[in-house]
Amino acid sequence: MTYRVLRLVLSLLAFVLLRPQVTGRNNVPRNGAVILASNHLSFIDSILIPIVAPRHVTFLAKAEYFTGRGLKGRLSRWFFTTVGMIPVQRDDPRAGQRSLEDALEVLRRGGAFGIYPEGTRSRDGKLHQGRTGVAWLALAGHAPVVPVAVRGTDKVQPIGKRLPRLHRVEVHFGKPIDPQRQITAGTKPAQARRELTDEVMASIHRMSGQELAA
């Protein structure tokens, strides 16, 4: 109940202040495990995508958002817990593997998990090569991958700026990609993961229009 109320409030604020243009929502399966793989331009991507997606989407969030002190810390912990984000310790040498394990658990419960294949925000605005964790997750979790492209969020909160700005944003959901298509006779697992990741990134590139990083 609390999540639905918070989502409604955030949705109203987003549609009034950011006027998001959203396409392809019907490409997101309403039930069952699914991965939403997006480019990453701003902190608000992890809030915007769940707002406009047709179902609850779980993202990872750095553990600091859950451990702060004082009123600000309590509000941060309440917010990120309520929206269903999973804390990750970035200084943990096994953080990457733990993140994938947490994501896999979401998929096993039939949930939707959001991931940024580039691994981090693009600081130059270009689309960088995707890491194969998204493909490992899709194959292990037997989950289709819906490519997602956000545009304009870097103008809302530019890197290094604390206060957001008003700017129209776009979110485009691409057609689901079946990970099992990469499993063919003689294809090695590493090759299958690389090919699936590249297919996802190519779809994101077509929708985002970003320049590709060298």
Which CATH fold topology does 1-208 show? Glycerol-3-phosphate (1)-acyltransferase (3.40.1130)
**Nearest CA among 126, 153, 114, 113 for reference residue 20:** 153
Total-model pTM: 0.91
Give yes or no for a contact between 41 and 150, defined as CB atoms under 8 angstroms apart: yes
Average pLDDT, the chain: 90
Amino acid 1: pLDDT: 67
Strand order in the sheet with 145-151: 21-23, 170-173, 145-151, 34-38, 112-115, 57-58
**Nearest CA among 91, 67, 88, 89 for reference residue 78:** 67
Q: Is 10 exposed, middle or buried (0-12, 13-18, 19+ CB in 10 A)?
A: middle
Q: How many helices (H) and strands (E) does the chain have?
A: 8, 8
Residue 97 pLDDT greater than 90, yes or no: no
Per mean pLDDT, which range of 57-66, 93-102, 201-210 is the poorest? 93-102
pLDDT in tens, 44-92: 999 999 999 999 999 988 888 888 888 888 888 888 888 888 888 776 7
Domain locations in the chain as residue ranges: 1-208
Amino acid 23: pLDDT: 98
